[in-house]
Amino acid sequence: MNSIILLADIIQDPQLRFTSDNQTPIAELRVEFAGLRPEDPATQLKAVGWGNLAQEIQANYHQGDRVILEGRLTMNTVERPEGFKEKQAELTIQKIYSLDGASISSSVTAPVAAAPTRTPSTPPPAASTPKRTTKAPAAPALESQSELDDIPF
């Protein structure tokens, strides 16, 4: 399965355009994310959102925003004027999350409500687990000391 989650900064405002055949909205933006090591330079990537998500991205996100992008990574081959082909990565956005807690979901599913934000001093909510009412079966009694040998691995 091709899935990626990326923490990035928007370095170019989203630009909205429409397909020529059925006028589907497409939002294109450039994002930048840090390298793996501190000495590595930041990497830029083209990100694309489709449909209702594209319109919401264009309306709600701007240059300088820090976002978490969830989607699919594709490689496109582009013919360069110099006469050679170049491969460029592109992220197709399925969900986008603002670091202030607001969330926009993909146009495939219903929009998700804003995620609650927590301060570092607020503990996460405790998960409730149902209580077991049955007892585990008792361990069989061992006949002799020879049955207590170490497990051979």
- For residue 102, give the 3-state DSSP assignment: coil
For the stretch 35-91, pLDDT in tens is 888 888 988 999 999 999 999 998 899 998 899 999 999 998 888 888 889 898 899
Residue 43 lies in a domain: yes
pLDDT band at residue 107 under the 50/70/90 scheme = very low
Q: Which domain holds residue 44?
A: 4-104
SS3 labels along 36-67: CCCCCCCEEEEEEEEHHHHHHHHHHCCCCCEE
Residue 31 lies in a domain: yes
pTM: 0.59
Whether the per-residue pLDDT at 113 is higher than 50: the answer is no
Whether the per-residue pLDDT at 139 is higher than 70: the answer is no
Strand ranges for the chain from DSSP E: 4-18, 25-33, 43-50, 66-79, 85-98, 103-104
Least confident range from 46-60, 67-81, 100-114, 135-149: namely 100-114
**Nearest of 28, 11, 6 to residue 19 by alpha carbon:** 28
Residue 56 lies in a domain: yes
- What is residue 100's DSSP assignment? T
CATH code: domain of residue 39: 2.40.50.140
Domain count along the chain: 1
Q: What is the pLDDT of residue 135?
A: 52
Residue 109 lies in a domain: no
pLDDT band at residue 120 under the 50/70/90 scheme = very low
CA angle, corner 52, sides to 50 and 57, nearest 5? Answer: 75
Which one has a higher pLDDT value, 139 or 43? Answer: 43
Contact 7, 66 (CB under 8 A): yes
Whether the per-residue pLDDT at 141 is higher than 70: the answer is no
- Please, what is the average pLDDT of the chain? 75
Share of the chain above pLDDT 70, in %: 65
Residue that is written with structure tokens 């923490």 in the block: 7
Which one has a higher pLDDT value, 140 or 34? Answer: 34
Contact 46, 88 (CB under 8 A): yes
